[in-house]
Amino acid sequence: MEEIIKLSEEEIKNLSFKEQLELLERINDYFQNEKQDELDVENALEIYKKALDILTYAREKLVNLKEEKAQIDEKYEKIKSQLSESAGID
């Protein structure tokens, strides 16, 4: 768990979705299997905070954010117009 606590936001962001899922599964196992009376509450709180960070970035990988979608659509419209222009020339 120490290595998860040490992860920076940038490092979490750069992980693949599957790596993020794997970390979340490890955290879930830790909370489920660790004896509660042996848990260090401060440590658990840190891990929980990291889990929320990982969840945020994983959800970003799952959903098209409005801004991101607009940018992609813009790029697409540009290439589409180029395509129809070249089709016209052909």
Partner 1 sequence: MLFPQQEEFKFESIQELIEYLNSIFSSSPLYRQEIEVIGDVTHAKYSKRGDLYVELSQRVRSSNYSITIIFSQSAVPYVFKHCRIDSEKELLNKRWKFQGIVNFWKREAKYVVSGSSIIPLGASEIEKKKKEILKKLEKSNLLRKVEHELVELDPIKKIAVITSPTAAGFGDFQKNINHSRFIPIVHLYPAPMQGAETVPGIKKALFAILKSGIDYNVVVIIRGGGSKSDLMYFDDFELGSLIAKFSRKIPVLTGIGHEQDSTIPDFVSWKNYSTPTEVSRDIVNQINYFTDTLENLEKNITYSFTNIYSQMENLLSFNTINNIKYYLGRELINLFRTLDEDQLSINRKINQMIESSEKSISLNKLVSIQRFIEYSIKTYNQDIISTTNEIISELKSKFEISERILFSTFQELTKSSPFAAFLNNGVLVKKGEEIIDSVEKLQRKDEVKLIFKDGEADSSIEKIQKW
What does residue 55 show for φ and ψ, rounded to 5 degrees? -60, -40
4 scored as a contact of partner 1 (CB under 8 A):
no
81 scored as a contact of partner 1 (CB under 8 A):
no
Q: In this chain, which of 41, 66, 67, 88 binds partner 1, going by CB under 8 A?
A: 41
Q: Cα–Cα distances in Å, from 32 out to 12, 27, 29, 47, 82?
A: 23, 9, 5, 13, 55
Rounded to whole angstroms, the Cα distance separating 51 from 28 reads 9
| Closer residue to partner 1 in complex, CB, 8/86 | 86
Return residues touching partner 1 (CB under 8 A). Answer: 16-18, 21, 24-25, 27-28, 31-32, 36, 39, 41, 44-45, 48, 51, 55, 58-59, 61-64, 69, 72-73, 75-76, 78-80, 82-83, 86
